[in-house]
Amino acid sequence: MGAGVICALIFSGCSNAPAGVNGSNFVNTENSTSFFAMDTVMDLKIYGSEDLLVEAESKVNNLEDRLSVTNPESEISIINRDKIGRLSKESAEILEGALEVCRDTDGALDVSIYPVLKDWGFTTGEYRIPEETEIEDLLENVDYKKIAVNNAKDGSATVEIPEGMEIDLGSVVKGYTGQMLAEYFKENGVESAIINLGGNVQCLGKKPNGEKWNIAIKSPFLESKSGILGVLKAEDTSVITSGGYERYFEQDGHIYWHIIDPATGSPANKGLASVTIIGDNGLRGDALSTALFVKGFDEAIQYWKDHGDFEAIFVNNVGDVFITEGLEGNFELSSEYVAAKLTIIKK
C-alpha cells in the first residue's frame, strides 16, 4: 500500500505532462515562428493563435515582393529601371515616412544612397574600396529631394526619379514591418508579442506575467565577451539599433562599415559606435537610428532635444553610454559594462 503511493509519486514526478492546461484559454497559448525574409531572420513570438503567425509571414513576404531591390519585378525595381513607376498604397506610405525623415534630418538619411552602397559591395558581400572619383560621380545622383511623388486619390502614388538614381527602402522597411505586425496582432486580440526582425525589435504589450520585456542591447565592440551592453525594460514600443559593427570589412588595418554618410559617400564616422531608438513609430525609429548615427553625437543630441518624441541610447567610440531621460530606471548596463560611464541626457 505504502509502496504503491511512493511508486505513484515517483512516476508522476518523472512525467513531462504540461504544467498548465490551456485548452480553454487558447488565446494565451505561446506560439512562435522563425523564417528568412527581407535579407534577414525574423523571429515572431505571440501569445495567441498560430494562424496569426501564418498570416503574418505571408504579409511580410507580400511586402518584400513589392519593395525588394533584388526582386526585378518589385515596385521599387521597376522605378529604378524605368525611372518612373507606381507604388501601391502601403509602399507609398513607407516611402513618404522615409522621405519625412530624410527631410527632417537634412539628408543624414537618404533613400537614394543605394548605388553608393552597392559600389562598396555592402549589398552583396563582395566588398571593395571605391576610387574617390567613382564616389563623386555616384553622389551626383544621390539626392532624395529629386524624388517626385504624385499621390493618387486611392493612396497609391506615381514616383519619378532622375536618370542615374536608384532608391531603396531597406533602411526603414524592417521598422515599418515590425510595427505593422504588432498592429495586426493587436487587432486580432493578441495582448502580448515580441517581434525581432533581424535585430529590429517590436514589442506588443508586456509579458503574459505582467512584467516588461527584457531587451538586450548588443555591444558595438568586437572584443566584448558577453556581446551585451545592457538590458532595457520595455513595453508596447519599437527598439531599433544601428551600428557599424553590424556589417563591415577590414582592409589594410582600416574598418569600413555599411552606414554610409550621404554627404561623403564613405562610412559615417562621427564618433558614435551605436544608436538605439525607442519609440512608438517603428519606421521612424529604424530611419532615425541610421540618420542619427550619421549625424554624430552632438547633432544627434540636438535632434532629440528639438523633437523629443522618442527615447535613445547612444554609445560613443570610447564606450561611454548616454541615455535620454525617459529611460531612467528602465536601462541597466550588463555586468561586463558595469564600469562604463553612463550619462542621462536631459532636455
CA distance 181 to 57: 9
Of 24-32, 132-140, 217-225, 339-347: span binding other proteins (CB under 8 A): 217-225
Question: Based on CB atoms, which residue is closest to other proteins, 191 or 246?
Answer: 246
Nine cell digits for residue 91? 509602399
For residue 200, the minimal CB distance to other proteins (Å) is: 7
Listed in sequence order, the DSSP H helices in the chain are 2-14, 50-67, 75-82, 89-104, 114-119, 132-139, 170-187, 282-295, 297-307
What's the angle, vertex CA 13, arms to CA 8 and CA 15, rounded to 5?
100
Segment 258 to 317, residues that bind other proteins, using CB under 8 A:
276
Site string for other proteins, 118-157 (x = CB under 8 A): ------xxx-------------------------------
230-41-213 Cα angle (round to 5): 35
Applying CB under 8 A, the site for other proteins has a residue count of: 46
178/296 with CB nearer other proteins = 178
- Among 27, 231, 301, 344, the residue binding other proteins under the rule CB under 8 A is 231
208 lies in the site for other proteins, by CB under 8 A: no
Interhelix angle 170-187/89-104, rounded to 10 degrees, is 120
C-beta of 139 vs 228, nearer to other proteins: 228
8 contacts other proteins (rule: CB under 8 A): no
Mask of contacts with other proteins, 31-70, x by CB under 8 A? ---xxx--xxx-x---------------------------
Looking at residue 19, its amino acid is A
237: cell is 514600443
By three-state DSSP, how is residue 131 classified? coil
User: How far is Cα 260 from Cα 109, in angstroms, rounded to an integer?
Assistant: 9
For other proteins, what does the binding mask look like between residues 72 and 111, x meaning CB under 8 A?
Answer: ----------------------------------------
Cell of 82: 524605368
Alpha helix positions (H), 200-335: 282-295, 297-307
Residue 343 is a binding residue for other proteins (CB under 8 A): no
The x, y and z cell numbers of residue 58, run together, are 505571408
Task: Tell me how far the alpha carbon of residue 166 is from its chain's centroid.
Answer: 22
β-bridge partners, 43: 34, 196
In b/e form, how buried is each residue of 163-176, taking b as 16+ CB within 10 angstroms? eebbbbbbbbbbbb
Which residue in the set 214, 251, 264, 343 belongs to the binding site for other proteins (CB under 8 A)? Answer: 214
Q: Between residues 8 and 84, which has the closer beta carbon with respect to other proteins?
A: 8
| Nearest to 30, CA basis, from 44, 13, 48, 14 | 48
- Binding other proteins (rule: CB under 8 A), the pick from 227, 251, 325, 341 is 227
The residue (of 161 and 283) whose beta carbon lies closer to other proteins is 283
Q: H or E segment at 166?
A: none
Listed ranges 59-67, 143-151, 218-226, 294-302: which one lies at the site for other proteins (CB under 8 A)? 218-226
Grid cell, residue 112, equals 537614394
Which lies closer to other proteins via its Cβ, residue 137 or residue 199?
199
Residue 28 binds other proteins, judged by CB under 8 A = no
Choose the binding region for other proteins from 149-157, 159-167, 224-232, 295-303 (rule: CB under 8 A): 224-232
- Residues in touch with other proteins (CB under 8 A): 1-3, 6-7, 10, 14, 34-36, 39-41, 43, 124-126, 194, 196, 199-201, 203, 207, 213-218, 222, 224-228, 231, 239-241, 243, 245-248, 276
